[in-house]
Every structure is written in structure tokens, then in C-alpha cells.
Amino acid sequence: MGVQNLLTQYQDTPRLFQLVDRLSFAQPEKIFLKNLRGSSAEFVVAAAFQHPVCEKLNHLIVLNDAEEAAYFHNTLENVTEALDIFYFPDSFKTRKNYRLLNSSHVMLRTETLTRIAGAETAGGANKKIIGD
């Protein structure tokens, strides 16, 4: 079974329709997904991103730590083949020393913020942001 076939199966589940319905509310919603194993979280999010109701919305996904966020971002990019998914890591090399900046993370954060600001001025194209 290919990735796209598996993604299609996720898109056709009643639970996804409930999730999409909650995401499409006019007021911002905080949604917590639990008991998802392996890459199932990425497939659920990818299916929601590609649903016609949600594809024009901006999404922010917050994960427990930088490693989990990086893996999630990489898997989501591979599943969706999308170019508008951004990783928003912290700017520092360690949490104990806030004087040492991680220059590659600063660049990723700058790119994310620039694309969001550009989307707002250009008519609001949807963006997905994954952070830790």
C-alpha cells in the first residue's frame, strides 16, 4: 500500500470529519490528539490539511520537544509533498545558556515569520507551522 492510498483511507474516516468540523469553527480551537502511534499523527494532520474545509486555514502544531517537532515536520513534508510547512525551533543552542544562538534555527524562524508576514500582505495563503 502506497503513502497516498494510506492517506486516502485517513481522509475517509468519520473521525477526520469530526476533527475538520472542529478546525473550521470561527473561533480558534485548541485540539489535543492522543493515543496515536507511530506516524499516525502525521497522517491525521496531513488528511486534515488536505480536506477542502481546512486547506485554506493556517495551522500551528506544537509538540513536546525539538526532536519530536523535527521528526513530525519531516514526516509531514514527505506524506503531503507540500512546500508550505515550516519548522519553528527555538533560537538557542541549549536551554541553559541563552547567550549562544543557533544560527541555523534563527534562519528557520526568520523564514517562517517572513512567509507568514508575506502571506498576510499577499492575501493570506495558508501556512502550517510546527514548533517545539
pLDDT for residue 15 is more than 60: yes
The tens digit of pLDDT for each residue in 36-95 reads: 888 889 999 899 888 888 877 778 888 888 888 889 999 998 888 887 888 877 776 666
Q: What is the distance between the alpha carbons of residues 104 and 106, in angstroms, rounded to a whole number?
A: 5
- Helices (DSSP H) in 1-132: which residue ranges? 3-11, 14-23, 40-50, 66-80, 103-121
- Side chain identity at 44, as an amino acid letter? V
Averaged pLDDT score across all residues of the chain: 80
pLDDT for residue 125 is more than 60: no
- Side chain identity at 31, as an amino acid letter? I
Q: What is the distance between the alpha carbons of residues 38 and 45, in angstroms, rounded to a whole number?
A: 13
Q: Structurally, how many domains does the chain consist of?
A: 1
Residue-number span of the structural domain to which 106 is assigned: 3-131
